Amino acid sequence: MIKTFSTKSSGKREIIRTFTFILCLLPLINLIILLLFDGLGVNPIEFVIRDLGDWALRFIILVLFMGFLLNMPKFKILFTIRRMVGLFSFFYISLHLSSYVILDQFFNFVVIWEDILKRRYITLGFLSFVLLLPLALTSSDQSIKRLGYKTWKVLHRLIYPAAILAVIHYFMMIKANYTEPLIYAIILCFLILSRISKKFFYS
Ligand code: HEM
């Protein structure tokens, strides 16, 4: 009886994981379709960098929002997919960075380094990437065991400053229409405040 139940629920989890995986790939598939059908507009390189940057940030916010929902018993199922969504955020960040390095700068690392030092929004994007790197590298169960759950959890709080830097990176590079970064900033403030209040009330 117990066996049937656990097989059923692990089957359900597998379906949810597969469905999430496909959903997370949709932004990339959409970009490839646009590329194949000449839909990237007059400045295709800028379009690609910006689209991947948008999705990188959306995925980070989504992971944080999932963390918020996980406080409610109803949403415990999200444990099944949170790590995958987190890894997808890093996947889109890596594509965003690669498209800048390859398509925009043609691997000219001297210019890239100058950009990181001189252009403030690139400096912040780079810092955000540096903060997210250890999170992606320690996402496995073995890393949790090796570091110990407490240390691992503290390390993974780096996602908050990384998300703040990414939102500022977005704000600094646009010249008009601040609506989208403003929405992300408001959601992020809410998530950070709810995290702080949870710590304050329950610790
Ligand atoms: C070394 C790291 C990074 C570099 C070099 C970089 C570079 C860039 C560049 C060149 C642009 C386009 C600027 C333009 O078209 O004028 C951009 C936009 C953007 N980046 Fe980054 N970025 C980095 C890290 C990040 C990270 C970590 C995130 C998010 C997690 C991110 C999110 C965004 C967003 C949301 C945009 C604006 C997209 C839009 O206009 O719709 N970037 N970035």
Q: Which two tokens mark 122?
A: 């690139």
> Which pLDDT score, from 0 to 100, does residue 11 have?
86
> What residue numbers bound the domain in which 12 lies?
2-202
From 169, 171, 174, 188, the mutation candidate for ligand 1 (largest count of ligand atoms within 8 A of CB) is 169
In whole angstroms, give the CA distance from residue 148 to residue 63. Answer: 22
Neighbours of 145 (CB within 10 A): 10
Helices H, strands E: what count in the chain?
Answer: 9, 0
Q: Which two tokens mark 70?
A: 């996980």
> Which pLDDT score, from 0 to 100, does residue 198 have?
76
The per-residue pLDDT for range 51-97, each reduced to its tens digit, is: 999 999 999 999 999 999 998 989 988 999 999 999 999 999 999 99
Question: Which residue's alpha carbon is nearest to atom 8 within ligand 1?
Answer: 122
> Which pLDDT score, from 0 to 100, does residue 136 have?
96
Residues of the chain with pLDDT under 70: 1-6, 8, 199-203
Domain count, the chain: 1
Burial tier of 154 (Cβ tally within 10 Å: 0-12, 13-18, 19+): exposed
> Which pLDDT score, from 0 to 100, does residue 201 have?
59
91 residue type, one letter = F
* For helices 120-137 and 149-156, angle between their N-to-C axes, nearest 10 degrees: 160
Question: Which residue's alpha carbon is nearest to atom 31 within ligand 1?
Answer: 53
Q: Which two tokens mark 77?
A: 């199922």
Element (H, E) at 123: helix 120-137
Confirm or reject: Cβ of 64 under 6 Å from ligand 1.
no
Confirm or reject: Cβ of 124 under 6 Å from ligand 1.
no
In whole angstroms, give the CA distance from residue 168 to residue 74. Answer: 33
Q: Smallest Cα–Cα separation from 67: which of 169, 203, 185, 163?
A: 163
pTM of the model: 0.92
Q: Taking the CA of residue 168 as centre, how many other CA atoms within 13 Å lie in the half-sphere pointing to its CB?
A: 15
Question: Which residue's alpha carbon is nearest to atom 36 within ligand 1?
Answer: 53
Ligand 1 atom with the shortest distance to the CA of 132: 27
Q: Smallest Cα–Cα separation from 126: which of 177, 53, 22, 27?
A: 53
